[in-house]
Structure 1
């Protein structure tokens, strides 16, 4: 399985949230280390796994709601 790794800035651009919101409100409350992001080589840098983040965003959204807007 290929994963797409994004920095906080790249994720912010993709989901249209401010970087600070991602770091201060979403990380470790909605997005969890080892599931939605990793710290490669035990460092401080965080890389988000796009496929997992996208999956989390779509939880509770049905195919029908995507087409009808309801």
Structure 2
């Protein structure tokens, strides 16, 4: 099982987003812990699973997902 793990900085370079945008807007609203990223050894460092991020970027771009926008930039998937 070979997956590619990226730091926040490496992910930002790949998807052309600012590091701060990933940390403040995407993490925990679009990128979910346990699905798109994890904290190895229970630490503070975050590693993103590139294959999961890439798959969800294409899946959401190609299909309409029912989501209600929330006040602070998150979404409710109901």
TM-score range, shorter chain: 0.7 to 0.9
Give SS of 2:55's match: helix
Per the TM alignment, residue 2 of structure 1 is displaced from its structure 2 partner at its CA by 1.2
User: Whose helix fraction is larger, Structure 1's or Structure 2's?
Assistant: 1
Gaps of 5+ in 2: 64-78
What residue in structure 2 maps to residue 5 of structure 1?
A: 5
- List gaps (5 residues or longer) in structure 1: 63-70
- When you count strand as a share of all residues, which structure comes out higher? 2
Match of 2:48?
48
Runs of 4+ in 1 over 2 A off after TM superposition: none
Aligned length: 62
